[in-house]
Amino acid sequence: MRKVRKTAGPRAIGSFVGKSARAALVKRGFAQADILSNWATIVGPSLANHSSPEKLNYSGKTNKDATLRVRVASGWAPEFTHFEPLILERINSFFGYRAVLKLKLIQAPILRTIVPKKLPPIPLTEKQQQWITDTTSNVADSELKERLEALAVSMLGSRNRDQS
């Protein structure tokens, strides 16, 4: 007897997007969408704002030594050419093996959202600063204490931003 899978209630649209987008990604050489979704992490926000990976062309039947075609905004090709060895190193370290051998740059308009720059921290209130001091006062390891204080400042600072 064949099992029929029943779904209870509505399903997240994300569960459908992955299946339908996979065919389009594979056609462009991206068997995994990771490089697309992590492009800003791989190349940094400055370069990511002026580029987007277009297609990954593999040579032969292996998943090694591919050429990554990157769409670059006008005027940014020299920057990418200068940083090409570093970009290739970051891409390959992202994959965990030498997946990309070279970049092929195409100067064309970029159709992507701009990666926001980090906002400056909002100062903490005196009460928040005192809470951090009191909470970390019993921590003996100075490096750990410093990192915990920095984490608390970061979290409370972002909370202040949400409330303002």
- The pLDDT tens digits of the residues spanning 6-41 come to 555 555 555 555 555 445 544 444 544 577 778 888
Query: CB of 81 within 8 A of CB of 51?
Result: no
Which has the closest alpha carbon to 97: 144, 58, 132, 131? 58
Q: Exposed, middle or buried by CB within 10 Å (0-12, 13-18, 19+), for 69?
A: middle
Residue 121: its pLDDT value, please?
A: 66
**What DSSP designation does 31 have?**
S
| Per-residue pLDDT at 63 | 66
Give the count of beta carbons closer than 10 Å to the beta carbon of residue 33: 13
Q: Which two tokens stand for residue 147?
A: 């990192």
Beta strands at 66-72 and 100-107: parallel, antiparallel or unpaired: parallel
Residues 39, 10: Cα–Cα separation, whole Å? 32
Token representation of residue 25: 């990604």
Low-confidence residues of the chain: pLDDT under 50 = 21-22, 25-29, 31-32, 162
Q: Is the pTM of this model over 0.85?
A: no
